[in-house]
Chain A
Amino acid sequence: MKHVQEVLFLLGSLGFVVGLKMMGKPDSARKGNLVAAAGMLFAVLGIMFFKHGEEGIHVVNNVGLIAAAIGVGTLVGWLMAKRVQMTAMPEMVSLFNGMGGLCAALISLLEWKFKGDAIATMPAGEYLAIIAGLIIGTVSFVGSIVAWGKLSGKLGDFRFPGQQFINIIMLLAIAGTAWMNFSAAANGNMLYFYLVIILAAVYGLLFVFPIGGADMPVVISLLNSPICLW
Chain B
Amino acid sequence: MDTIFNFIGENISMIYLVILMVFVGIELIGHVPSVLHTPLMSGANAIHGVVLIGAIYVMGHAAEDDMFSLVVGFIGVIVGTLNVIGGFVVTDRMLEMFKKKPEKGAKS
Q: Which residues of A contact B (CB under 8 A)?
A: 12, 16-17, 19-21, 23-26, 29-30, 32-34, 36-37, 39-40, 43-44, 47-48, 51, 60-63, 65-66, 68-70, 72-74, 76-78, 80-82, 84, 86, 89-90, 92-93, 95-97, 99-100, 102-104, 106-107, 109-111, 113-114, 123-125, 133, 137, 215, 218-219, 221-230
A106 and B41 contact, CB distance less than 8 A = no
Q: Which residues of A contact B18 (CB under 8 A)?
A: 223
* Known contacts A17-B28, A221-B48, A230-B14: A100-B83 contact under CB 8 Å: yes
Main secondary structure of the interface of B (DSSP, over half): helix
**Alpha-carbon separation in the docked complex, A226 to B33 (Å):** 30
* Known contacts A20-B47, A65-B59, A125-B7: A81-B90 contact under CB 8 Å: yes
B87 and A96 contact, CB distance less than 8 A = yes
Residue on B with the closest CB to A123? B10
**Alpha-carbon separation in the docked complex, A36 to B95 (Å):** 14
Residue on A with the closest CB to B41? A215
Q: For chain B, residues 1 to 24, give those with C-beta under 8 angstroms from any C-beta of chain A.
A: 3, 7, 10-11, 14, 17-18, 21-22, 24
Q: Which residues of A contact B57 (CB under 8 A)?
A: 47, 60, 228-229
* Known contacts A73-B78, A225-B50, A225-B53: A81-B89 contact under CB 8 Å: yes
**Alpha-carbon separation in the docked complex, A110 to B36 (Å):** 37
